[in-house]
C-alpha cells in the first residue's frame, strides 16, 4: 500500500505517543482503594487500559478485562469522580513520550502533514499533557474520548476529520497501538500504522491486520520518504 496521498495523520495518545500507565495506575489504584477495593498493580492497568476512564475503572473494580454487570452504577460514578481528582493532581510526571516520538512529530509537521490527536482518554486531561511534552503546537485537532457519543473503534471522530478537512479516506492515516485504533481506521476506510509496544490487552497488534507495523514511530518517516 502506498501512502503518497496522505495529507492528515491521526494519532492515538496512550500507548502510541505516551506511556501513560504509570500515572494512570496511581490514580486508578487510589480511586478503587478509596472505595474499599483491594490494591491493583501497574501490570494489571497495562492490560486493562485503552477504552476510556470509565471502562478502566470498571475493570479495576472487577479485577478483570470484563467489567462485572453487578457493579453499582452510583459506585462507578463515585470512582470516576475520585479518579478525576487523583489523576488531575498527579501532574503526569511519570508518563514519558516513547522513544523517537518527539523528533518524528516535528519532522512530520515540518514536512507539511496535518496532525490530529484522536484518543479515548478524557479530553480534559489532554492539553496539559501535550503542553508538558511541548507537542501541543504541532496538532491541528485534539479529540478526546468524550467529545463524541462513541469512542474508537467507532469511526465517528475519524469521519469528522475527513469531513472537516475535505479529505478522502485514502488521504488520512491512523496511527495507533491497539485494535481499537486499527478497527477505527478500517471502519473509516483509512490506512493504518500500528506500533508494537503499546497497550493491546496482551494481544499481538498484528492480529488486527494493520496496513503497516513498526517497533518505533520513526519508521513512519521511512514509509513516507522523509529524511530522518
Give the catalytic positions in this structure. 12
Task: Give how far Cα 154 sits from Cα of 73, 117, 150, Å.
Answer: 24, 15, 6
The upper half-sphere exposure of residue 2, i.e. CA atoms within 13 Å in the direction of its Cβ, equals 2
Cell of 114: 496535518
Distance CA 19, CA 84 (A): 19
DSSP string, 69-138: TTS-HHHHHHHHHHHHHHHHHTTTTT-PBPTTHHHHHHHHHHTT-EEEEE-SS-GGGHHHHHHHTT-GGG
Q: Cα(147)–Cα(96) distance, rounded to whole angstroms?
A: 25
Residue reference for cell 478485562: 65
Burial (CB count within 10 angstroms: exposed 0-12, middle 13-18, buried 19+), residue 8: buried
Q: Tell me how far apart the alpha carbons of residues 3 and 19 are, in angstroms, rounded to a whole number.
A: 27
- The set of cell numbers assigned to 50 is 485503552
Amino acid at each position: 500500500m502506498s501512502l503518497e496521498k496522505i495529507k492528515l495523520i491521526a494519532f492515538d495518545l496512550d500507548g502510541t505517543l505516551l506511556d501513560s500507565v504509570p500515572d494512570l495506575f496511581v490514580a486508578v489504584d487510589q480511586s478503587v482503594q478509596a472505595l474499599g477495593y483491594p490494591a491493583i498493580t501497574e501490570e494489571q492497568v497495562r492490560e486493562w487500559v485503552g477504552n476510556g476512564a470509565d471502562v478502566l475503572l470498571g475493570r479495576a473494580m472487577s479485577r478483570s478485562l470484563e467489567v462485572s454487570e453487578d457493579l453499582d452504577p452510583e459506585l462507578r460514578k463515585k470512582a470516576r469522580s475520585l479518579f478525576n481528582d487523583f489523576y488531575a493532581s498527579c501532574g503526569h510526571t511519570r508518563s514519558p513520550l516513547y522513544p523517537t516520538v518527539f523528533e518524528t512529530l516535528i519532522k512530520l509537521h515540518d514536512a507539511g502533514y496535518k496532525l490530529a490527536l484522536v484518543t479515548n482518554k478524557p479530553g480534559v486531561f489532554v492539553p496539559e499533557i501535550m503542553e508538558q511534552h511541548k507537542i501541543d503546537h504541532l496538532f491541528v485537532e485534539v479529540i478526546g474520548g468524550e467529545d463524541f457519543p462513541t469512542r474508537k473503534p467507532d469511526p465517528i471522530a475519524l469521519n469528522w476529520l475527513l469531513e472537516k478537512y475535505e479529505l478522502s479516506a485514502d488521504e488520512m492515516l491512523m496511527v495507533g497501538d491497539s485494535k481499537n485504533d486499527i478497527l477505527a481506521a478500517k471502519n473509516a476506510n483509512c490506512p493504518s500504522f500500528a506500533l508494537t509496544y503499546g497497550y493491546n490487552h496482551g494481544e499481538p497488534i498484528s492480529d488486527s491486520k494493520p496496513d503497516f507495523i513498526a517497533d518505533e514511530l520513526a519508521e513512519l518517516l521511512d514509509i513516507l520518504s522523509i529524511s530522518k
